[in-house]
Structure 1
Amino acid sequence: MTAWAVLAGVAARLCALGLTASAAWLIARAGAERPDLAALGLAIAAVRAFASARGLFGYLERLAGHDAALGRAARQRVRLYRALARGPLPGAGSRDADALTHMVADLDAGQDLRLRCALPAIIAGVAGAAAAAFCWALHPASGAIVAGGMLAAGAAVPAGAAAAARRLGARLADARAELTARVLDLTEGRADLLAFGALDFATAAAERQAARLARVERAGGSVSAAALAAGAAVQGLTALGVAWTAAGTGAVTSAVLVLTALAALDAVQPAIPAAQLYVALRPAAARVRRLIRADAALPPDERPHRPAVPGRVALRGVRVRYGDVPALDGVDLDLAPGRSVAVLGESGAGKSTLLALLAGLVQPGEGLALLRPARGLYQDAHLFAATVRVNLRMAKPDAEDAELRAVLDRVHLTGWLDALPQGLSTPVGAGGRGLSGGQRQRLLLARALLADPEVLLLDEPTEALDAATGRAVLAGVLRARRGRTTVAVTHREDALDLFDDIVIMARGRVELHDAGVHRQRRIKRG
């Protein structure tokens, strides 16, 4: 569909050039030579045909271009939606606002990059080359001037504008980020600022930052105006040059060449704002691509080995460091398929890093990870501003309502669901706003269960629940696993008897991997 948009756009620009050239020929010949009306019939028909076709092809260009761009954006939105639903992606940030930015602003930027940058640049280049070739055929010297003017207006000026926009872009991004942070402090921290008598100081700082942002934006507007003025100057100089060189070709040919040159330079003028916009939009589009690719397979030299048995996890001498601090320090671990494993340890023992490694969110600096699948499904993910049904169907789009109710029953949310005013159609706030901590945890857990992964990774899945409810939820999850390998980080020792195996971690190492021994120690302590 993108190819059809390019073809339609090129056809529309060529019709505009044809309209200008035929109208110029018609007017010049009618005024200079005064021929019979019959001699002008072909030119009159051409003017009418080019005028009608230009509108038709312009409409088709927008139709095909928007269809292609919106279709691609929709596909990317679904892929990113599902990737974010599975869990935090590398580089996506940990806040709800980060996910929202990637879902809305960055995807819209990628759409604009295709519609307002790539498409106009391609169309301008092809149509401009055709116009230069036409002028060259009529008068080579004039054609050379037109080609030179088009290179200046369609390449040199946009390149300069893009370079200036790139320099301003970093300043603009910093200024906007700083202003956003200060406004957020004012809105969310107003009570604290009032309590400490710092509200006036924080307001003044935000106002200064707003003024700084305005100055940077004005500088950007000046750059845009200067670039457009330079393009218009090149257009005028090109027309003057063509008029001077074509003076001896006759009134009709000279008029056609001059007006065609103006139309040709006018066709490449959109390349100037497109170049500036490209600089602004490219980082956002690149972020979306990185996030989507982060959910795909790793390069061959980094790809984890995949044992033949689904759900098998084996780590050999794995080390993961955050700076100089070892998070995992020579971990050896074998988890048989279908086992339920509880991971215990004090804060900083390496439990969360172990889960992130199994989820594919971090890679080992040393050692070997044998994983099948190459990444597990992480329960700690994001809830979107959508209905309960939509949030659950992120894991299984074709799930029926009965299946959704069944998975909610497994995590003891049936009573909550029945109390909702619209049942499964009840909206959920972004990030689970409006839900209690326990409800959010269980709703995410229900979505993870609905996906039915080979390996399910749970990070304190019942932390916000009382002991009895937490045990009941864990029991329901483990009973329904049907051969699934389940690894849960938990601090609830009263529920360890539900698991097949226990892993105790300390200082980034596995100190114990034996359910029976751990239970014996617990019994002796009791």
Structure 2
Amino acid sequence: MLRLISPHLPRIALAGLIGAGAELSGIALIATAAWLLATAASAPPLTALSVAIVAVRTFAISRGVLRYLDRLVGHDAVLRALAALRGRVFSAIAPLVPATSRVFGGPDLLNRLVTDVDAIQDLVLRVFTPIWTAVVVGAATLTFVAFFSPPAAAVAACGLLLAGVALPVVASRTADRAARDTAVHRGALAASAVDLVRGERDLAAYGATEIAAQRASADADALADAERRGAASATVTTALGTLVAGVTVIAVALTAPDLGVMTAVLALTVLVAFESVAVLPAAAKRLVDIRASARRLVDILDLPPTVPDPAEPLPLPTDPTLRLRGARPAIGGRVDAGATVDLDLPPGRRVAIVGPSGGGKTMLLSMLTRFVPIGSGTVTLGGVDMDRLTGDDVRTVIGGMTADAHVFAVTIRDNLRVAAPEADDDRLAAALAAAGLPDWADRLDLWPGDDGAELSGGQRQRLLLARALLADHAVLVLDEPTEHLDDATADAVTRDLLAATEGRSLLLVTHRLRGLDQLDEIVVLDDGRVVERGTHDQLMDRGGYYHQAQPQSTIDRTGSAI
């Protein structure tokens, strides 16, 4: 974690120096004020106190100014480092698609990206800065006390070491298990909460809301128990620290009883020094929590990309011709020996990949968009082996609409601009019209709800289709664009998307077989194998799977397509 935020460490170190200066000003203020009060009791001439009076004012003002600068510089540095770290974590997540959702789960992944990254800021503000401040303040205090009484300095050193080293070690060991449990239960609670919020309709429909609420409540109780155990150990440690401070101050006063006014000054100086040391057990406990969060982040940062980019990538070819020869995806590191596909998709050619669920259609598209590695065979783009191109370059040519495409909780305009950030309203309106939403030109400021909850199924799919068209990929891939739609709506969406993609390269994955007669070729996949291929009329004449799977309403009694 320190290596990742290393560019910001000089600014963080400056904040630490300012913080230590603020603490030293506070100690000097107390020591000077103690001497001033004790000396003033003997009614000396005012001139004998003038320097001390000015010093008290100076230390009081400087303490406040340095404390302000400490907060300003420290938080500025940490927030900059945190933003860079969050970007680094997100950059590590992106090449893991779609493996991250299978390995971590969406809610837990969000918890790592937000809560665990936020915890790293405390590595500086609540761990390193307090430790640095305590070391500087402790050394300065002991030097000051030793100048007047070496025995008193030895006593103070023992107390400071006990409170600043021994107690933090005990606190960290007792907090370690609680921290691991807390991180696990926090992730479980985040997952339960997301399920309750996003799945409220489904839970209500099946009468499972109470069960889900009980599960979330159990996760919350488990998290509370883990935090309660950690708080209990912290309370005991704090009490012991206060006891050690009191005993040490008394011992210092008893060790140097013959110094007159300076006895009180030394005792108060040591007492104030313990304020800097008293936070170290909490810092040690927080370090344990941070280490648990850091481990969860490292689990992501250390994962290799699902599809690594080549060490020396080739430039993206200008020819968008896509060609597959014996290609098959590697799923979970395993390659099905029988799942091979041959396909040619020159510019302007439109091909449908159809077949039953589980036949390998979506995995084929994931392989072409470089979200799943190529298991065997060859896939070329413009004659260049796709393994020699970066995933980002490939996705500028091949892309479109995935089966689980997401509608963001922003306006229609911003949803569309995900695909084309510079697009003006006229271009957005044209994409909506091409997708079958011609009257949405004046609805660009509409909020579609969480993942399109405020839209009908057809509107949601058309919006996603408009976004895919707006991206203007040379090879447009559409994965189940009519999923979860009724027949009439699905037929209308199919007609609109085929009209909108006239003259463009298209790879359409669908399990619906209606309305595909306009395509140049239809490839039927079953269990990863190509069992049929040809035009709509050719497949209907053969009487194979494609013909048999046609809805009865599209076939007359003679078996011909209507």
TM-score of the two chains, using structure 1 as the length reference: 0.76
Superposition map of 1:187-336 within 5 A? 189-190=203-204, 192-193=206-207, 215-239=225-249, 242-243=252-253, 247=256, 250-251=259-260, 254-277=263-286, 280=289, 308-309=316-317, 311=320, 312=322, 314=324, 318-321=328-331, 329-333=338-342, 335=344
**Alpha carbons of structure 1 residues 333 and 56: separation in structure 2 relative to 1, 3 Å:** farther
SS at 1:443 equivalent: helix
**Equivalent position of 1:397 in the other structure:** 421
**Alpha carbons of structure 1 residues 373 and 505: separation in structure 2 relative to 1, 3 Å:** farther
**Residue 132 of structure 1 pairs with residue 138 of structure 2:** yes
**Equivalent position of 1:522 in the other structure:** 540
In 2, Cα distance between equivalents of 1:145 and 1:284:
34
**Alpha carbons of structure 1 residues 288 and 499: separation in structure 2 relative to 1, 3 Å:** farther
Higher-RCO chain (CA-CA 8 Å, sequence separation at least 6): 1
Q: 1:16 aligns with which of 23, 26, 35?
A: 23
Q: 2:61 aligns with which of 41, 48, 52?
A: 52
SS at 2:407 equivalent: coil
In 2, Cα distance between equivalents of 1:83 and 1:417:
37
What is the number of residues matched between the two proteins? 506
**Equivalent position of 1:156 in the other structure:** 169
SS at 1:458 equivalent: strand
**Alpha carbons of structure 1 residues 330 and 40: separation in structure 2 relative to 1, 3 Å:** farther
In 1, Cα distance between equivalents of 2:523 and 2:338:
15
**Equivalent position of 2:372 in the other structure:** 362
Decide which moves more: 344-353 or 165-174. Answer: 165-174
SS at 1:109 equivalent: helix
**Alpha carbons of structure 1 residues 260 and 350: separation in structure 2 relative to 1, 3 Å:** farther
**Residue 436 of structure 1 pairs with residue 448 of structure 2:** no
SS at 1:309 equivalent: coil
In 1, Cα distance between equivalents of 2:511 and 2:372:
23
Q: 2:128 aligns with which of 122, 127, 133?
A: 122
Matched-pair contact (CA < 8 Å) for 2:116–2:293 = yes
Gaps of 5+ in 2: 1-7, 380-384, 544-559
**Residue 379 of structure 1 pairs with residue 397 of structure 2:** no
**Alpha carbons of structure 1 residues 355 and 108: separation in structure 2 relative to 1, 3 Å:** same
In 2, Cα distance between equivalents of 1:248 and 1:431:
74
In 2, Cα distance between equivalents of 1:390 and 1:290:
33
1:352 Cα offset (Å): 1.4
Q: 1:27 aligns with which of 28, 31, 34?
A: 34
1:289 Cα offset (Å): 8.0
Matched-pair contact (CA < 8 Å) for 2:99–2:306 = no
In 2, Cα distance between equivalents of 1:204 and 1:457:
42
SS at 1:466 equivalent: helix
**Equivalent position of 2:556 in the other structure:** none
TM-score of the two chains, using structure 2 as the length reference: 0.71
Amino acid at match of 2:317: V
Task: Name the larger-Rg structure.
Answer: 2
1:24 Cα offset (Å): 1.3
**Equivalent position of 1:469 in the other structure:** 493
**Equivalent position of 2:353 in the other structure:** 343
Question: How large is the RMSD of aligned CA atoms in angstroms?
Answer: 4.7
1:487 Cα offset (Å): 3.0
**Alpha carbons of structure 1 residues 26 and 159: separation in structure 2 relative to 1, 3 Å:** same
**Residue 7 of structure 1 pairs with residue 14 of structure 2:** yes
In 1, Cα distance between equivalents of 2:531 and 2:228:
61
**Equivalent position of 2:179 in the other structure:** 166
In 2, Cα distance between equivalents of 1:26 and 1:46:
9
1:388 Cα offset (Å): 1.1
Identity %, equivalent residues: 33
**Alpha carbons of structure 1 residues 389 and 181: separation in structure 2 relative to 1, 3 Å:** closer
SS at 2:238 equivalent: helix
Gaps of 5+ in 1: none
1:412 Cα offset (Å): 1.6
Amino acid at match of 2:409: A
1:205 Cα offset (Å): 7.9
Matched-pair contact (CA < 8 Å) for 1:309–1:337 = no
**Equivalent position of 2:101 in the other structure:** 92
Matched-pair contact (CA < 8 Å) for 2:413–2:445 = yes
Amino acid at match of 1:507: D
**Alpha carbons of structure 1 residues 336 and 208: separation in structure 2 relative to 1, 3 Å:** closer
1:307 Cα offset (Å): 7.1
1:432 Cα offset (Å): 1.0
In 2, Cα distance between equivalents of 1:387 and 1:208:
36
In 2, Cα distance between equivalents of 1:477 and 1:295:
36
**Equivalent position of 2:548 in the other structure:** none
1:430 Cα offset (Å): 0.8
